[in-house]
Amino acid sequence: MIQQRIRPGTIDEVVAISQQIPEFNQPYGAEEYQRRLASVPHLIQIAEVEGEAAGFKVGYQLEEGVFYSWMGGILPDFRALGLAREMLLAQEAWANDQGYDRLKVKSRNRYATMVAMLLRHGYGIEAFEAKGDTLADHRIHLTKALKNGNE
């Protein structure tokens, strides 16, 4: 059986992993993570497979009662192991335990697998944002009420 786990992580780990994800054309550096996370409650998760970093998920408080699932990705060699789902569920549980009422996520049209996973897990589309040069670049805004919140 393959050993997998989700653990707390650091900005440096996230930056290192994000630089290996082919879909990220210009991954954020440590400065952008520090800027966004410095003064707000946040969660950094690292997914490991057999002790090797395989993916990450970062989120932070967007506003009172709302947690924003900002960045995440799985390295190509570790996809289809359910790691994104595990991190999503762990993030939801953490946010609920911290008293958040709602989770928000933005994705791009090009990430259909991610959007489908979010829809399967109870997220609803609340907005569509025309952004970038192509339809694939447009943003899909999704939200989910947590147990603390109302639908």
DSSP string, 8-75: E--HHHHHHHHTT-TT-SS---HHHHHHHHTTS-EEEEEEEETTEEEEEEEEEEEETTEEEEEEEEE-
> Whole-angstrom Cα distance, residue 140 to residue 135?
11
On average, the pLDDT of the chain sits at: 93
Averaged pLDDT for residues 85-110: 95
What confidence score (pLDDT) does residue 148 get?
66
Residues 73 and 23 sit within 8 Å (Cβ to Cβ): yes
Averaged pLDDT for residues 14-43: 95
> Whole-angstrom Cα distance, residue 59 to residue 67?
7
pLDDT above 70 as % of the chain: 97
Instruction: Find the angle CA(32)-CA(37)-CA(41) to the nearest 5 degrees.
Output: 165
Residues 58 and 43 sit within 8 Å (Cβ to Cβ): yes
> Whole-angstrom Cα distance, residue 54 to residue 46?
7
What confidence score (pLDDT) does residue 15 get?
97
What confidence score (pLDDT) does residue 112 get?
86
Query: Which residues, listed in sequence order, are joined to residue 145 by a DSSP beta bridge?
Result: 102
User: What is the value of pTM for the model shown?
Assistant: 0.91
Given a cut of 90, whether residue 78 has pLDDT beyond it is yes
pLDDT above 90 as % of the chain: 81
Given a cut of 60, whether residue 150 has pLDDT beyond it is no
Given a cut of 90, whether residue 111 has pLDDT beyond it is no
Using pLDDT thresholds of 50, 70 and 90, give the confidence band for residue 137: confident
What confidence score (pLDDT) does residue 149 get?
57
- The neighbour count for residue 59, using CB atoms within 10 Å, is 26
DSSP state of 5: E
Query: What fold characterizes domain 4-107?
Result: Aminopeptidase (3.40.630)
